Structure 1
Amino acid sequence: MKRLWTPAWIARHVAMVVLVVGFLGLGWWQVSRAAAGNAISWGYAVEWPIFAGFVVFVWWREVRHALRGPEAPAEREPTAAGTRAADAPTRPVVRRPVRVARVPAAAHGGEDADLAAYNRYLQWLNDNPGAKPGDYPG
Protein backbone atom coordinates (compact mmCIF):
# COMPACT_ATOMS: atom_id res chain seq x y z
CA MET A 1 0.00 0.00 0.00
CA LYS A 2 2.97 2.26 0.62
CA ARG A 3 3.83 2.16 -3.10
CA LEU A 4 0.67 4.09 -3.92
CA TRP A 5 1.81 7.16 -1.95
CA THR A 6 4.93 8.08 -3.88
CA PRO A 7 4.97 11.51 -5.57
CA ALA A 8 4.23 9.93 -8.96
CA TRP A 9 1.22 8.05 -7.58
CA ILE A 10 -0.09 11.08 -5.73
CA ALA A 11 0.00 12.96 -9.04
CA ARG A 12 -1.92 10.08 -10.67
CA HIS A 13 -4.54 10.08 -7.93
CA VAL A 14 -5.00 13.84 -8.20
CA ALA A 15 -5.18 13.67 -12.00
CA MET A 16 -7.81 10.94 -11.77
CA VAL A 17 -9.98 12.93 -9.36
CA VAL A 18 -9.64 16.13 -11.42
CA LEU A 19 -10.48 14.35 -14.66
CA VAL A 20 -13.47 12.46 -13.24
CA VAL A 21 -14.93 15.56 -11.59
CA GLY A 22 -14.29 17.60 -14.74
CA PHE A 23 -15.84 15.01 -17.06
CA LEU A 24 -18.91 14.59 -14.85
CA GLY A 25 -19.25 18.38 -14.64
CA LEU A 26 -19.11 18.62 -18.42
CA GLY A 27 -21.72 15.88 -18.65
CA TRP A 28 -24.04 17.81 -16.30
CA TRP A 29 -23.47 20.97 -18.34
CA GLN A 30 -24.46 19.08 -21.50
CA VAL A 31 -27.62 17.78 -19.77
CA SER A 32 -28.61 21.35 -18.90
CA ARG A 33 -27.97 22.45 -22.50
CA ALA A 34 -29.96 19.52 -23.84
CA ALA A 35 -32.87 20.35 -21.50
CA ALA A 36 -32.78 23.90 -22.88
CA GLY A 37 -33.45 22.58 -26.38
CA ASN A 38 -30.05 21.72 -27.88
CA ALA A 39 -30.72 18.20 -29.19
CA ILE A 40 -27.11 17.30 -30.04
CA SER A 41 -26.12 17.83 -26.40
CA TRP A 42 -27.90 14.59 -25.44
CA GLY A 43 -25.11 12.66 -27.15
CA TYR A 44 -22.44 14.62 -25.31
CA ALA A 45 -24.36 14.20 -22.04
CA VAL A 46 -23.89 10.45 -22.41
CA GLU A 47 -20.33 10.68 -23.72
CA TRP A 48 -18.72 12.61 -20.83
CA PRO A 49 -19.66 10.11 -18.08
CA ILE A 50 -18.28 7.33 -20.30
CA PHE A 51 -14.98 9.21 -20.44
CA ALA A 52 -15.04 9.51 -16.63
CA GLY A 53 -15.67 5.78 -16.33
CA PHE A 54 -12.75 5.06 -18.63
CA VAL A 55 -10.44 7.18 -16.46
CA VAL A 56 -11.55 5.26 -13.36
CA PHE A 57 -11.05 1.95 -15.19
CA VAL A 58 -7.47 2.83 -16.25
CA TRP A 59 -6.63 4.16 -12.80
CA TRP A 60 -7.98 1.02 -11.10
CA ARG A 61 -6.09 -1.25 -13.51
CA GLU A 62 -2.83 0.62 -12.81
CA VAL A 63 -3.41 0.42 -9.04
CA ARG A 64 -3.96 -3.34 -9.25
CA HIS A 65 -0.86 -3.70 -11.42
CA ALA A 66 1.25 -1.72 -8.92
CA LEU A 67 -0.05 -3.72 -5.96
CA ARG A 68 0.63 -7.03 -7.71
CA GLY A 69 4.32 -6.14 -7.89
CA PRO A 70 7.00 -7.73 -10.03
CA GLU A 71 6.33 -11.35 -10.84
CA ALA A 72 8.97 -13.89 -9.88
CA PRO A 73 10.38 -15.87 -12.78
CA ALA A 74 9.24 -19.46 -12.84
CA GLU A 75 11.72 -22.12 -11.83
CA ARG A 76 12.95 -24.15 -14.75
CA GLU A 77 14.37 -27.61 -15.09
CA PRO A 78 18.16 -27.91 -14.89
CA THR A 79 19.86 -28.31 -18.25
CA ALA A 80 22.32 -31.06 -19.10
CA ALA A 81 25.26 -28.91 -17.95
CA GLY A 82 23.70 -28.52 -14.49
CA THR A 83 22.78 -24.84 -14.81
CA ARG A 84 19.24 -23.64 -14.90
CA ALA A 85 17.85 -22.60 -18.26
CA ALA A 86 16.91 -19.18 -16.83
CA ASP A 87 20.60 -18.53 -16.04
CA ALA A 88 21.78 -19.31 -19.55
CA PRO A 89 22.07 -16.43 -22.03
CA THR A 90 19.18 -16.33 -24.42
CA ARG A 91 19.62 -16.38 -28.17
CA PRO A 92 17.01 -15.29 -30.64
CA VAL A 93 15.24 -18.18 -32.25
CA VAL A 94 16.08 -18.43 -35.94
CA ARG A 95 13.97 -20.81 -37.91
CA ARG A 96 14.92 -22.41 -41.17
CA PRO A 97 13.12 -21.15 -44.26
CA VAL A 98 10.35 -23.28 -45.63
CA ARG A 99 11.33 -25.01 -48.83
CA VAL A 100 8.58 -25.75 -51.30
CA ALA A 101 9.19 -28.15 -54.15
CA ARG A 102 8.31 -26.58 -57.46
CA VAL A 103 5.99 -28.55 -59.64
CA PRO A 104 6.87 -28.39 -63.33
CA ALA A 105 4.44 -26.45 -65.49
CA ALA A 106 3.77 -29.53 -67.54
CA ALA A 107 2.12 -31.15 -64.52
CA HIS A 108 -0.52 -28.38 -64.53
CA GLY A 109 -1.24 -28.79 -68.20
CA GLY A 110 1.00 -25.90 -69.26
CA GLU A 111 0.99 -22.19 -68.41
CA ASP A 112 -0.82 -19.52 -70.28
CA ALA A 113 1.20 -16.81 -72.01
CA ASP A 114 0.26 -14.01 -69.57
CA LEU A 115 1.33 -16.01 -66.55
CA ALA A 116 4.64 -16.98 -68.18
CA ALA A 117 5.33 -13.31 -69.11
CA TYR A 118 4.53 -12.19 -65.59
CA ASN A 119 6.81 -14.84 -64.11
CA ARG A 120 9.64 -13.71 -66.41
CA TYR A 121 9.05 -10.13 -65.27
CA LEU A 122 9.20 -11.16 -61.59
CA GLN A 123 12.37 -13.17 -62.24
CA TRP A 124 13.95 -10.13 -63.92
CA LEU A 125 13.02 -7.92 -60.93
CA ASN A 126 14.54 -10.52 -58.60
CA ASP A 127 17.74 -10.71 -60.65
CA ASN A 128 18.07 -6.88 -60.78
CA PRO A 129 17.38 -5.66 -57.23
CA GLY A 130 18.18 -1.99 -57.86
CA ALA A 131 16.16 -1.75 -61.05
CA LYS A 132 12.86 0.05 -61.38
CA PRO A 133 9.84 -1.62 -62.98
CA GLY A 134 10.08 0.82 -65.89
CA ASP A 135 13.57 -0.51 -66.72
CA TYR A 136 12.21 -3.91 -67.70
CA PRO A 137 13.34 -4.60 -71.28
CA GLY A 138 10.47 -6.99 -72.06
Structure 2
Amino acid sequence: MKRLWTPAWIARHVAMVVLVTCFLGLGWWQVSRAAAGNAISWGYAVEWPIFAGFVVFVWWREVRHALRGASGTGESGPAGARQPEDAGATATASTPGTAGPAARTADSDRTVRTRPAIRRPVRVTRAVVDDGGEDADLAAYNRYLSWLNANPGAKPGDYPG
Protein backbone atom coordinates (compact mmCIF):
# COMPACT_ATOMS: atom_id res chain seq x y z
CA MET A 1 0.00 0.00 0.00
CA LYS A 2 3.01 2.29 0.47
CA ARG A 3 3.54 2.00 -3.26
CA LEU A 4 0.44 4.14 -3.89
CA TRP A 5 1.78 7.07 -1.82
CA THR A 6 4.84 7.95 -3.85
CA PRO A 7 4.96 11.47 -5.33
CA ALA A 8 3.99 10.14 -8.76
CA TRP A 9 0.96 8.32 -7.36
CA ILE A 10 -0.10 11.32 -5.28
CA ALA A 11 -0.04 13.38 -8.49
CA ARG A 12 -2.20 10.71 -10.18
CA HIS A 13 -4.69 10.70 -7.30
CA VAL A 14 -4.94 14.50 -7.35
CA ALA A 15 -5.31 14.54 -11.15
CA MET A 16 -8.09 11.97 -10.94
CA VAL A 17 -10.00 13.97 -8.30
CA VAL A 18 -9.56 17.24 -10.21
CA LEU A 19 -10.62 15.73 -13.54
CA VAL A 20 -13.66 13.97 -12.10
CA THR A 21 -14.74 17.12 -10.27
CA CYS A 22 -14.31 19.26 -13.39
CA PHE A 23 -16.09 16.78 -15.65
CA LEU A 24 -19.04 16.42 -13.30
CA GLY A 25 -19.20 20.22 -12.91
CA LEU A 26 -19.24 20.63 -16.68
CA GLY A 27 -22.00 18.02 -16.88
CA TRP A 28 -24.08 19.95 -14.32
CA TRP A 29 -23.46 23.17 -16.25
CA GLN A 30 -24.75 21.49 -19.43
CA VAL A 31 -27.85 20.27 -17.58
CA SER A 32 -28.59 23.83 -16.49
CA ARG A 33 -28.10 25.09 -20.07
CA ALA A 34 -30.34 22.32 -21.41
CA ALA A 35 -33.04 23.21 -18.89
CA ALA A 36 -32.86 26.80 -20.11
CA GLY A 37 -33.78 25.71 -23.64
CA ASN A 38 -30.54 24.70 -25.37
CA ALA A 39 -31.48 21.30 -26.77
CA ILE A 40 -27.99 20.25 -27.87
CA SER A 41 -26.75 20.54 -24.29
CA TRP A 42 -28.61 17.34 -23.36
CA GLY A 43 -26.01 15.36 -25.30
CA TYR A 44 -23.16 17.11 -23.53
CA ALA A 45 -24.90 16.66 -20.19
CA VAL A 46 -24.69 12.90 -20.74
CA GLU A 47 -21.20 12.98 -22.24
CA TRP A 48 -19.31 14.71 -19.38
CA PRO A 49 -20.24 12.15 -16.69
CA ILE A 50 -19.14 9.39 -19.10
CA PHE A 51 -15.75 11.10 -19.34
CA ALA A 52 -15.58 11.24 -15.53
CA GLY A 53 -16.42 7.54 -15.34
CA PHE A 54 -13.66 6.76 -17.82
CA VAL A 55 -11.12 8.66 -15.69
CA VAL A 56 -12.19 6.65 -12.63
CA PHE A 57 -11.98 3.41 -14.63
CA VAL A 58 -8.41 4.11 -15.83
CA TRP A 59 -7.32 5.21 -12.35
CA TRP A 60 -8.80 2.07 -10.75
CA ARG A 61 -7.18 -0.18 -13.34
CA GLU A 62 -3.77 1.38 -12.73
CA VAL A 63 -4.17 1.04 -8.94
CA ARG A 64 -5.05 -2.65 -9.32
CA HIS A 65 -2.10 -3.13 -11.67
CA ALA A 66 0.28 -1.54 -9.18
CA LEU A 67 -1.07 -3.55 -6.27
CA ARG A 68 -1.02 -6.81 -8.23
CA GLY A 69 2.59 -6.18 -9.26
CA ALA A 70 3.61 -5.49 -5.64
CA SER A 71 1.97 -8.55 -4.08
CA GLY A 72 2.52 -11.04 -6.90
CA THR A 73 6.30 -10.91 -7.20
CA GLY A 74 7.43 -11.60 -3.66
CA GLU A 75 10.70 -9.72 -4.14
CA SER A 76 11.28 -6.02 -4.13
CA GLY A 77 12.26 -4.52 -7.44
CA PRO A 78 12.67 -0.97 -8.65
CA ALA A 79 9.60 1.23 -8.37
CA GLY A 80 7.44 1.07 -11.46
CA ALA A 81 9.02 -2.11 -12.80
CA ARG A 82 6.43 -4.57 -13.98
CA GLN A 83 6.85 -8.29 -13.81
CA PRO A 84 5.62 -10.63 -16.54
CA GLU A 85 2.07 -11.73 -15.91
CA ASP A 86 2.15 -15.17 -17.47
CA ALA A 87 4.28 -17.98 -16.10
CA GLY A 88 5.34 -19.02 -19.59
CA ALA A 89 7.47 -15.89 -19.99
CA THR A 90 9.96 -16.90 -17.31
CA ALA A 91 12.94 -19.10 -17.86
CA THR A 92 14.08 -21.64 -15.35
CA ALA A 93 17.29 -21.08 -13.46
CA SER A 94 20.45 -22.89 -14.48
CA THR A 95 20.42 -24.96 -11.29
CA PRO A 96 19.70 -28.68 -11.72
CA GLY A 97 16.36 -29.78 -10.35
CA THR A 98 14.46 -26.54 -10.89
CA ALA A 99 10.94 -26.95 -12.09
CA GLY A 100 9.33 -23.53 -12.13
CA PRO A 101 9.52 -19.88 -11.21
CA ALA A 102 10.34 -20.63 -7.57
CA ALA A 103 11.93 -24.04 -7.12
CA ARG A 104 14.11 -25.58 -4.44
CA THR A 105 17.61 -26.68 -5.25
CA ALA A 106 18.57 -30.28 -4.67
CA ASP A 107 21.54 -29.51 -2.40
CA SER A 108 20.03 -26.81 -0.16
CA ASP A 109 16.78 -25.55 1.26
CA ARG A 110 16.84 -22.09 -0.32
CA THR A 111 14.48 -20.93 -3.07
CA VAL A 112 15.86 -19.94 -6.47
CA ARG A 113 14.07 -17.07 -8.23
CA THR A 114 14.08 -17.03 -11.99
CA ARG A 115 14.41 -14.08 -14.33
CA PRO A 116 12.43 -13.37 -17.48
CA ALA A 117 13.80 -15.14 -20.50
CA ILE A 118 15.94 -13.09 -22.86
CA ARG A 119 14.87 -13.87 -26.36
CA ARG A 120 16.77 -13.40 -29.57
CA PRO A 121 15.40 -10.84 -32.01
CA VAL A 122 13.49 -12.17 -34.96
CA ARG A 123 15.26 -11.48 -38.22
CA VAL A 124 13.15 -11.14 -41.30
CA THR A 125 14.77 -11.17 -44.70
CA ARG A 126 13.02 -9.47 -47.55
CA ALA A 127 13.15 -11.02 -50.97
CA VAL A 128 14.08 -8.58 -53.69
CA VAL A 129 11.73 -8.83 -56.63
CA ASP A 130 13.46 -8.09 -59.91
CA ASP A 131 10.91 -7.24 -62.56
CA GLY A 132 13.49 -7.19 -65.32
CA GLY A 133 14.39 -3.51 -65.34
CA GLU A 134 13.99 -0.17 -63.69
CA ASP A 135 10.96 1.98 -64.32
CA ALA A 136 11.87 5.05 -66.40
CA ASP A 137 9.77 7.41 -64.26
CA LEU A 138 11.31 6.03 -61.09
CA ALA A 139 14.83 6.43 -62.47
CA ALA A 140 14.10 10.05 -63.46
CA TYR A 141 12.67 10.78 -60.03
CA ASN A 142 15.72 9.23 -58.34
CA ARG A 143 18.03 11.40 -60.50
CA TYR A 144 15.98 14.46 -59.48
CA LEU A 145 16.26 13.55 -55.79
CA SER A 146 20.00 13.00 -56.02
CA TRP A 147 20.36 16.40 -57.76
CA LEU A 148 18.36 18.07 -54.96
CA ASN A 149 20.58 16.35 -52.42
CA ALA A 150 23.75 17.51 -54.20
CA ASN A 151 22.44 21.11 -54.48
CA PRO A 152 20.84 21.92 -51.12
CA GLY A 153 20.30 25.63 -51.82
CA ALA A 154 18.72 25.12 -55.24
CA LYS A 155 15.05 25.54 -56.01
CA PRO A 156 13.10 22.75 -57.72
CA GLY A 157 12.63 25.01 -60.75
CA ASP A 158 16.43 25.12 -61.25
CA TYR A 159 16.57 21.42 -62.08
CA PRO A 160 18.22 21.04 -65.48
CA GLY A 161 16.52 17.79 -66.39
* Shared fold per TM-score greater than 0.5: yes
Per the alignment, residue 42 of structure 1 pairs with: 42
Matched, 1:122 2:122: no
What amino acid is aligned across from residue 125 of structure 2 in structure 1? R
Q: How many residues align?
A: 111
2:135 partner SS: helix
The structure with the largest helix share of the pair is 1
Per the alignment, residue 114 of structure 1 pairs with: none
Unaligned runs of 5+ in 1: 79-83, 103-118
Within the candidate set 90, 93, 106, 1:74 is matched to 90
After superposing the two structures, state which structure 1 stretch, 63-72 or 20-29, moved more: 63-72
Change (3 A) 1:124 1:16: closer
Unaligned runs of 5+ in 2: 70-81, 95-114, 146-158
Per the alignment, residue 18 of structure 1 pairs with: 18
Runs of 4+ in structure 1 over 2 Å off? 84-87, 90-102, 123-126
**Aligned partners of 2:44, 2:143: CA distance in 1, in Å?**
55
TM-score between the two structures when normalised by the length of structure 2? 0.54
Structure exhibiting the larger radius of gyration computed from Cα positions: 1
**Aligned partners of 2:116, 2:42: CA distance in 1, in Å?**
59
TM-score between the two structures when normalised by the length of structure 1? 0.61
Q: Is the 8 A contact 1:27 1:47 kept in 2?
A: yes
What amino acid is aligned across from residue 142 of structure 2 in structure 1? G
Q: Is the 8 A contact 2:90 2:116 kept in 1?
A: no
**Aligned partners of 1:85, 1:41: CA distance in 2, in Å?**
52
Greater relative contact order, per chain length (Cα 8 Å cut-off, separation 6+): 1
